[in-house]
Amino acid sequence: MQLKTFPKGGVHPPEYKLTADKPLKILPVPKQLVIPIQQQLGRPGEILVKKKDKVKVGQLIVKATGFVSANIHSPVSGTVTKIDKVIDASGYKVDAIVIKVDDEQVWEENIDRSEDIKRDITLTSEQIIKKVEEMGIVGLGGATFPSHVKLSIPPGKKCELLIINGVECEPFLTSDHRLMLEKTEQILIGTKILMKALKVDKAVIGIEANKPDAIEKMLKFTENYPEISVQPLKVKYPQGGEKQLIKAITGREVPSGGLPIDVGVVVHNVGTTYAVYEAVQKNKPLFERVVTITGPSVKQPGNYIAKIGTPISALIEAAGGLPEDTAKIIAGGPMMGKALKNTDVPITKGTSGILILPRSMAYRREVQPCIRCARCVNACPQGLEPYLLMSVAQKQIWDIAEQHNVMDCIECGSCSYICPSSRPLLDYIRFGKRTVGAIIRERKQKSKK
Amino acid sequence: MENKLVISNSPHIQTPLTVKRIMLDVIIALSPAAIFSIYLFGLGAFIIITVSIISSVFFEWLLTKYFLKKPSTISDLSAVVTGLLLAMNVPSNLPIWMLLVGTFVAIGIGKISFGGLGQNIFNPAIMARVFMLISFPVAMTSWPIPLKDRMHYIDVHTGATPLGIIKEGVKNGETISHLMHQIPSNSQLFYGIMGGSLGEMAAILLILGGIYLLIRKVITWHIPVSILVTVALFTGILWLINPDKYANPLFHLLTGGLMLGSIFMATDYVTSPMTPKGQIIFGVSIGLLTVLIRVWGAYPEGVSFAILIMNAFVPLINRYTRPKVFGTNKKINKNG
């Protein structure tokens, strides 16, 4: 089959998929969970429990506040010991519910815990969207945007195609890869559910060619799902970026400042699709996810199903402990992940992997002058000129930064990765984005008045 | 543990490619042609290459330390590249003091006065070459005859370059076919047996170096190919119009440092455009200017002037050849 890809930009970092052949394992439940009340993009939820409350597995403990927000459910049965401020993966302090785990796990009764695959989709489109909202599903690829919002098509727009993102272009990470191999049919049923919710009759699963086993398995299973097709993609970072994936598969370009629905497409990640299957068919809220624990010196890297709120130290322990030469711990992949302050940080809905880097990989090389080699310009998948944006951000010339589309940066990091002078291009572009974003908001507010 | 973890922004990995490695690749790519020039011109070529590199690195160190007052940059090897390139652009019997003036102009005026690596507008080696050509016109155009007097430096037999012979001959009313008997055959030109500067010699070794740079992804094809194709087409048309007055395109491709200029000098990152489109505009313009100067200009040789002139247009070219920003195309293609 013809491999597709996006035409402009992109880089080829080493893949380091150390855990591609490590089957999913269930991580033992720790004695205590720390559950931040904001795990999604949008507004934080409202806490429904208080100290000393007893909770069951799957019980709603944080309620969404408003449309762009998400419910959070307890992954365990136990007792709320305190509500405290903790440092999450973003490095900021957030409110969190601390739960002491009981020895015996009591589940909410309506959750179907059987392994049987349930194929019939009985809910209507509206009921599916409501269920997805109720079960606290957010985008599990890392952006954690509430999924029900993506399923609610704004008036005047029409969805023509659903794309399931199985690209997993970040080096090291393999959680989506393993899910596609081990939960193949569940993902296809999840895709059908999302199609029904969006009222579309076509879906494409995009998978990069470095996962031939997943492509093969998906192709075999889609024989029974003729409305879902599999599209193998040429390996290139950042193909998992929504805009790049849509361009690769359909040739359509999401307009600058627009959303995928503007070109008739909705994209969901395979992890999210599996969570949707579990929510709609099994009534199971999103309280656990697949997390890859990996790194060049990690003794037993692997893919684990971990409860939300598990400290990453528990995951590291399962992987054979923290290696001697550890210098950096990252939540997510090496291109877009966040460096963590310590190992107490809890796993949240957006944690696709924990990457442990040794000293030899933890530091950036010394910054050298720009030699104008244009590698950053050629690597930018958004058609920006990173060297120029960095220089205007350094000089704080914000109108030029805006003119040169700083807001279109998707922060994929291809420019900083490829720079032979090791210049902190993305750091300055982020600074530019934040400042220009604030200026634009201010301008809009003024014009409203 | 807690205090020892490194916190930094993404991305957390970097390409293994560094500026130093890029410069090293350029040096590797130039080496066969440089070694061959020592074979052809002997002692003189060896002295020129050695002195040029050492003095360039010395001036870079000196001026960075005492003029720019910045940390030393000699370890990035860019001064070695400049020194080697300049050596390839001069005759092997050039007096040392002239060469030192040249390397000082290249590093001091061409590079450091603009603020160092990455800041200069003109290619330092070419700037120095043109400076020397104008300042020392005789010394810069008396070309030792290859394979002769190889154990001598200054006191060698000299002759004109093939381009010089043609230029002079046509001016005196002789026909090309007659003049062709006075210059080496195309195969000799290809293997580099002719009068000229160190790096004008073996086209084949320079092309090999270029292929190495392409494989290592140090350069892309856009600039060299667009220069060479333009020169071939333009001189080809002239040759078809009047083969008695204009030399054939192959002759033009193989002489006068065109290979050296298009593969190693015009591709200098700092002084060439950013996007492939801009690079093709740049290359085609250099090709056109080169032929114009060679055929109708006062000098027999035009590559250096052409590159220098186009260096000045790079900011303008960059301005008009920006990449298309994703999602800003007004016509959204709905059918893929």
Interface test with B, best of A158, A329, A371, A392 (most B CBs within 10 A): A371
Tokens (6 digits) for B150? 């190889």
Q: Is the dihedral of CA A18, A24, A29, A34 positive or negative?
A: positive
Interface test with B, best of A372, A377, A421, A425 (most B CBs within 10 A): A372
| Interchain proximity A371–B21, CB inside 8 Å | no
Report B:36-55 residues touching A (Cβ under 8 A): none
Q: Which domains does chain A have, with CATH numbers?
A: 125-282 (3.40.50.11540), 375-448 (no CATH)
Q: Which chain A residues are Cβ-neighbours of B273 within 8 angstroms?
A: 374
- Residue A188 vs residue B180, higher pLDDT: A188
Tokens (6 digits) for B266? 């015009």
pLDDT(B331) > 60? no
Quick one: closest CA in A to B1, which residue?
A: A342
In B147-237, the DSSP E strands lie at 158-159
Report the complex ipTM: 0.89
Contact A412, A441 (CB under 8 A): no
Confidence (pLDDT) at B334: 33
Q: Which chain B residues are Cβ-neighbours of A422 within 8 angstroms?
A: 14, 18
- Number of Cβ within a 10 Å radius of residue A31: 10
Query: Any CB–CB contact under 8 A between B31 and chain A?
Result: no
Q: Could you give the C-alpha distances from B86 to A97, A99, B80, in angstroms and in order?
A: 69, 72, 10
pLDDT(B3) > 60? no
Q: What whole-number distance in Å separates Cα of residue A441 and Cα of residue A446?
A: 9
- Residue B257 vs residue B23, higher pLDDT: B23
| Interchain proximity B12–A328, CB inside 8 Å | yes
Average pLDDT over residues B303-311: 95
Confidence (pLDDT) at B271: 95
Angstroms from B334 CA to nearest CA on chain A: 6
Q: Which chain A residues are Cβ-neighbours of B76 within 8 angstroms?
A: 368
pLDDT in tens, B40-59: 888 889 999 999 999 999 99
What is the pLDDT confidence band of residue B21, given thresholds at 50, 70 and 90?
A: very high
Confidence (pLDDT) at A434: 95
* HSE, side-chain direction, 13 A CA sphere, residue A333: 25
Percent of chain B residues past pLDDT 90, beyond the cut = 60
pLDDT(B90) > 80? yes
| Interchain proximity A258–B327, CB inside 8 Å | yes
> Over its length of 449 residues, how does chain A's per-residue pLDDT go in tens digits?
689 999 999 999 999 999 999 999 999 999 999 999 988 888 888 999 999 999 999 999 999 988 889 999 999 999 999 998 988 888 888 899 999 999 889 999 899 999 899 999 999 999 999 999 999 999 998 788 999 999 999 999 999 999 999 999 999 999 999 999 999 999 999 999 999 999 999 999 999 999 999 999 999 999 999 999 999 999 999 999 999 999 999 999 999 999 999 999 999 999 999 999 999 999 999 999 999 999 999 999 999 999 999 999 999 999 999 999 999 999 999 999 999 988 999 999 999 999 999 999 999 999 999 999 999 999 999 999 999 999 999 999 999 999 999 999 999 999 999 999 999 999 999 999 999 999 999 999 988 77
Q: Could you give the C-alpha distances from A263 to A255, A259, B48, in angstroms and in order?
A: 8, 8, 63
Contacts of A4 (CB under 8 A, 6+ apart): A231, A232, A233, A234, A248, A249
Instruction: Break chain B into its structural domains and give their ranges.
Output: 19-139, 162-320
pLDDT in tens, B205-218: 999 999 999 999 99
pLDDT in tens, A403-417: 999 999 999 999 999
Angstroms from B109 CA to nearest CA on chain A: 18
Average pLDDT over residues B12-26: 96
pLDDT(B330) > 60? no
| Interchain proximity A369–B335, CB inside 8 Å | no
Q: Which chain B residues are Cβ-neighbours of A263 within 8 angstroms?
A: 332, 334
Quick one: closest CA in A to B17, which residue?
A: A420
Contacts of B113 (CB under 8 A, 6+ apart): none
Query: Any CB–CB contact under 8 A between B334 and chain A?
Result: yes
Contact A260, A160 (CB under 8 A): no
Q: Which chain B residues are Cβ-neighbours of A381 within 8 angstroms?
A: 326
| Interchain proximity A373–B322, CB inside 8 Å | no
pLDDT in tens, B129-179: 999 999 998 888 877 777 776 777 767 677 777 777 777 777 777 777 777
